[in-house]
A and B are shown apart, each in its own frame.
Chain A
Amino acid sequence: MQGATEIRIPWYSISNFLIMVTSLSMSVFVFIKGPKTKANKIWVILTFCVALYGFGAYMASISEDMPAAFFWWQVAHIGVILIPVLFMHFVSAFLDIRRYSLIRLKIPYVMSFVFLILNIFRRDLFLVRMNLFFEDSKLFKPSYWSYPGSVWYYFFIIFFFLGLAMIWAHIDLFRGYRKATGLTRYQLKYFFPASLLAFIGGATSFLPCFNIEIYPVFNITVAFYPLIMGYAIVKYRLMDIRVAITRTGIFVVVYTLVLGIPFSVSFFGRRWLMVNFGQNWGFPPLILLTILASIGPFLYIYFQRRAETIILRKQRAYQETLKQAARELSRIHNLKKLLNLITHIVTKTVGITHAAIYLLEEESQDFVLKATRNKKNKTLPMLINKESLLIEWLKNHREILVYEEIHRKAYEGSVVVLKELDNQMKSLDASIIVPGFIKEKLLGFLILGDKRLGEFYTPQDLDTLSVIANQAALAIENATLYENMEEEVKQRTEELIETQRQLVQAEKLATVGTLAGGVAHEINNPLTAVLTNVQMLLADSAKLDTETKESLELIEEATKRCRMIVQKLMTYAKKPLETAIITEINLLEVVEKVVDFLRYQFLQDNVKIDIQAKEKKYRVKANFNEMEQVVTNLLLNARDAIKQIKKQGQINISLHKTDTEVSLEVKDDGCGISKEIISKIFDPFFTTKDVGKGTGLGLSICHSIVEKYKGVIAVQSEPTKGSTFVVQLPGVESNK
């Protein structure tokens, strides 16, 4: 008989043992990590109570006598009594359910407390007797099992009530799951079935209390519960624990083995052990336990490292790629290219649906959409106002915004600000928003869509993205500076080219002038000979026949024209034959004198001259004769321009002055100047007049004279409508 009982073991002790190990690990783990939220704190107590239940039930199952079993069942029931109400509380805290707290939490707590008191101080009322369980079974080892005492009336009602609360909590969980989106939904996807399974499985082990003799092993589901939750935490950051929970997993596995192997050996090999070791059969498992317990920590550390290497290898490779790419960013100086590259790198490496970049616009301080990727069908706002909540939030918090977190917080706490932020993120189609800072300045932000595989952004992702964002911000700042610099260089170069062009032009004019001046002088002597002789011959005209006389007259005329050209050339070359006396002169006087001189001639040409001057004095520092020459040239040109296209016309001369400047405007309604030649009109020898009618020096001389007095001459013209020449000269003090 002895042998027959030996192979019968209390199987349910195994499930209770596992419940104890997994739940305790979970409780300790979360406790060590410092639970931050209310839900996490309750979670620690809840899992501890579950572990207590497992511990008590396990101890009871291996108790050899009734008083011991009685005691352990009493211990187990401390956990059992508290589990329903704590679970209810945890669900309420997790989903932030606040209504009906009286019947959901307060009454259950009070009842559980009363029940607890009874369990501890009047156990005779609670668990009235211990029976040997499955005494006649050949498969199971009989063990002492508790049966309801006199209080079980109430106990039953309350237990049923608490059972209802558990069902209610699950309904809430399921509702929460249906309602939730994203992260919470994913978390609940694991949370809900795991706890439901645990609850049902756990409940079956109490059926024997009601004389329903189902062997109590189905509460093994309770042991899986923390494992499933652990997985959900790793994958979906359930409960805000930002540490790889693989450590817990490894811890659980290692210590399950450390404790489980000797335990199993003593269970299953007890017969063999007794045969070989007799009374000391317990030693080998004990030695094994000692050995395993000693190498346990080493195993734990070894596996932890291995696991971390494996997990981190992927993480590191991916982070390395990103960081390397980020370093490359600083080499690109073209802003547009850079922005495109950033979105490209992030979308490719992280594997996300879409990305967009908004950058600070210095002038308005608003944020402007600068680059998008895979966002063709959806429209993003081109501009995000500097006063918008999103910008304020990013500036104040300086952290990556995660839509799931904002969304959850927004609806858990019903915070208006968060709801608005939630809406704004939704409208931007953003899963996360990564701000990029340069010192204290928010330079821009990166909007990222969902991960392609439907995964969630891990804390490492967020850290890496943060680094990338700041590196990108630096690169963007560089590129912007570089572009501004390039722009400036470009502008300067253009200015330089313009200056150079002007210099070349001036140089050209000066060279032409010098050259012409020299040539002119050389020509003067031969011209003297020609003119003297031809006039000498003409002096005796009585002796000449008509033809000879005509020829000589032509020679004389031609020579005189040559003389005129040479004189003009010499003026242009700034080598006037007479000394130019520079004094303060009144430009209006110059104009009036020239107009008086030309008026009669112009009247014959049907050209009217009108002078407009509001004041009497327009003083400049110049030579009177030279200014006369300027005005004369301008008027003659104006007349010629009019005569080109019509029989009568009008020339308007107007004078203006400011504190520093005097200007003269000569406006005609003549033929105008075409765009092709307008840049050449101040060049020497450039003329549109017929051969012999103009020397092409008039305007060059004007230009040369005006320039000499540090003035400017400019022209505005519209073909067929007329031209306006403006001469600006520095004013003198007496003008003020």
Chain B
Amino acid sequence: MAKNILVIDDDGMVTKSLCRLLEKSGFSTETSENGVDAIELIKNTHIDMIIADIRLPGINGVETVKKIKEIIKGKHKHDVPVIFITGYSDAQINAEAQTMGDLILKPFDNQKILEKINSYI
């Protein structure tokens, strides 16, 4: 069964492009435009990996991932690997993000992100 990856990004262009790439590479994908939806989604859906934008409307990517990880922990499931993607250069939040997962800067090379994903799942 294909590994399921959740892509959280408020920019449809990014989610669409990335999902296509992932699906082509043999993954199944879930998408979410914001943190709240993503948290809802995780409750009923199995996710093997999260790719999240940091800057999101409402609660940001880092906070969203934090909540999701708490929920997963509450269900006694294995921790989920996370790759943050960002085009924004806030050193502080980027550093915080790096404590929970990898950080890849937009725009990224397909090869680079696929290598990262494959190193986790």
A contact set with B: CB distance below 8 Å: 517, 520-521, 523-533, 535-536, 539, 559, 563, 567, 570, 573, 575-580
Contacts and interface: CB of A to CB of B under 8 A. Distances in A.
Residue of A517, A531, A532 with most chain B CB atoms under a 10 A cut-off: A532
A517 B24 CA distance: 33
Nearest to B90: A575
Given A528-B18, A535-B109, 14 more contacts: A521-B87, A521-B88, A524-B107, A527-B106, A528-B14, A528-B107, A531-B107, A532-B21, A536-B110, A563-B107, A573-B89, A575-B89, A577-B94, A580-B91
Contacts of A563: 107
A528 B108 contact: yes
Residue of B18, B88, B95 with most chain A CB atoms under a 10 A cut-off: B88
B91 A535 contact: no
Given A536-B20, A570-B89, A578 B14 contact: no
B94 A525 contact: no
Nearest to A580: B91
Interface in B99-121: 105-111
B37 interface: no
A595 to B, nearest CB: 28
A532 to B, nearest CB: 4
A578 B91 CA distance: 6
A528 B107 CA distance: 4
B17 interface: yes
B18 A576 contact: no
A527 B107 contact: yes
A532 B104 CA distance: 13
Contacts of A525: 11, 13-14, 87, 106
Nearest to A577: B89
* Shortest beta-carbon contacts, A-B, top 6: A524-B87, A575-B89, A527-B107, A529-B13, A535-B110, A528-B107
Contact of A531 (B11, B16, B95, B108): B108
Contacts of B11: 525, 529
Given A530-B107, A579-B95, A517 B14 contact: no
Contacts of B88: 521, 524
Nearest to A524: B87
Nearest to B105: A577
B101 to A, nearest CB: 15
Nearest to A567: B105
B24 A532 contact: no
Contacts, number: 81
Contacts of B90: 575
B89 A576 contact: yes
Contacts of A530: 107
Given A524-B106, A525-B11, A563-B107, A532 B89 contact: no
A517 B91 CA distance: 13
Given A570-B89, A575-B89, A535 B111 contact: yes
A575 B91 CA distance: 7
B83 to A, nearest CB: 13
Contacts of A529: 11, 13-14, 16-17
A539 B110 contact: yes
Contacts of B109: 531, 535
A577 B91 CA distance: 6
A514 to B, nearest CB: 12
B17 A533 contact: yes
A530 B111 CA distance: 14
Interface in B44-88: 85-88
A54 B95 CA distance: 127
B46 to A, nearest CB: 25
Given A525-B11, A525-B13, A526-B13, A532 B107 contact: yes
Contact of A536 (B21, B89, B105): B21
B3 to A, nearest CB: 19
A623 B32 CA distance: 38
Contact of B110 (A523, A532, A573, A580): A532
A530 B18 CA distance: 11
A701 to B, nearest CB: 14
A528 B89 contact: no
A563 B105 CA distance: 10
Contacts of A532: 14, 17-18, 20-21, 107-108, 110
A517 B90 CA distance: 11
A579 B95 CA distance: 7
Interface string B2-42: 00000000010110111011001000000000000000000
B76 to A, nearest CB: 34
A529 B95 CA distance: 25
A621 B30 CA distance: 46
A74 B109 CA distance: 147
15 contacts: A517-B89, A521-B87, A524-B105, A525-B14, A527-B87, A528-B17, A528-B18, A528-B87, A529-B13, A531-B107, A532-B108, A533-B17, A535-B111, A575-B89, A577-B105
A578 B94 contact: yes
A529 B88 CA distance: 16
A517 B86 CA distance: 14
A539 B24 CA distance: 10
B94 A579 contact: yes
Contacts of A575: 89-91
Contacts of A526: 13
Residue of A529, A536, A563, A573 with most chain B CB atoms under a 10 A cut-off: A529
Nearest to A526: B13
Contacts of B24: 536, 539
A527 B87 CA distance: 10
Contacts of B89: 517, 521, 570, 573, 575-577
B120 to A, nearest CB: 19
Contacts of B92: 579
Nearest to A540: B24
Contacts of A524: 87-88, 105-107
A660 to B, nearest CB: 29
B11 to A, nearest CB: 4
B90 to A, nearest CB: 7
A185 B86 CA distance: 108
Nearest to A556: B109
Contacts of B17: 528-529, 532-533, 536
Contacts of A517: 89
Residue of B16, B20, B87 with most chain A CB atoms under a 10 A cut-off: B87
A314 B72 CA distance: 116
Contacts of B91: 575-580
B106 A528 contact: yes
A536 B114 CA distance: 11
Nearest to A530: B107
Residue of B16, B85, B106 with most chain A CB atoms under a 10 A cut-off: B106
A528 B108 CA distance: 6
A509 B94 CA distance: 25
